[in-house]
Amino acid sequence: MKTIRRNLLLLAMAASFSFGEENSIRIWGPEERVKSYFPIWDSKTKTGLSDCTAQYGTGLLQRVGEPCLRTPPKDCKKEVFRFTLLQSRGDHFCVRIDRQGEGFRLWAKRVDVHGRILLEQKERLLGTSETAKTDQLLKAWDFFRMATQDKPVGLDGTSWILEGLREGRYHAIEHWSPDVETKARGLTALYEFCKFLIMNDGLKETPKNMGYEIFRQ
């Protein structure tokens, strides 16, 4: 029942998108549904994101000009990670890092709760110590083998999407509010990596859901 209620909420959020005519995207159209940035849940392989999250996340990322990481060229050698934070009662955040030489370039964007307005964005190079910390956090877990989802699902809270692309291999995971029972759910590495991205994104605001600070110092 909670999953159904949450999907209905995401459906309502998706319907609230407002696009100009030349950028019009039919997220829920019967025949012209936009191609998802994410793999859709497959009950047989138990991989992929929930349909509602994938469609809403796709619309949001397209709205703010984010690229699709899912279908890289065969000879792609890039290493890219993108954290997308969808909130039921707070602004949405997107932070992407791309390894360039010995460091990383970071792009961060904050979008209003309705998914209509890009409130702020930032682009910068990570410093030497930040790059070392990024590498340390990535080595702390095997992201590309991590389960796509875990069982806890709630109506309110947040949906975390983390994508990774490394030498042509793509993986995406979706978890509901990893800040809840983080250790018990085995999500400590995920939480710490996403927290690091948010705390170093250069944006003026940090994620708050219903006034609650998701990432605390």
50 touches 174 (CB < 8 A): yes
Residue range of the domain that includes 94 = 65-213
98 pLDDT higher than 70: yes
Looking at per-residue pLDDT, the higher value among 22 and 159 belongs to 159
Averaged pLDDT score across all residues of the chain: 83
Backbone angles phi, psi at 190, to 5 degrees: -60, -50
Pinpoint the alpha helices (H) of the chain: 2-15, 51-63, 128-139, 188-199
Domain contains 158: yes
Residues in the chain: 217
Find the CATH number of the domain harbouring 120. 3.30.1560
Domain contains 19: no
| Domain total in the chain | 1
Domain contains 189: yes
Domain contains 36: no
> Which residues, 6 or more positions from 24, have their beta carbon under 8 angstroms from its beta carbon?
none
| Cross-strand partners of 95 | 83, 108
pLDDT value at residue 150:
79
Domain contains 142: yes
Q: What is the DSSP string of 20-58?
A: -GGG---TT-SS-PPPPSSPBPBTTTTBSB-HHHHHHHH
Domain contains 8: no
Percent above pLDDT 90 for the chain: 61
pLDDT digits (tens, 9 = 90+) for 28-46: 333 334 589 999 988 888 8
Q: How many CB atoms lie within 10 A of CB 44?
A: 5
Predicted model pTM: 0.84
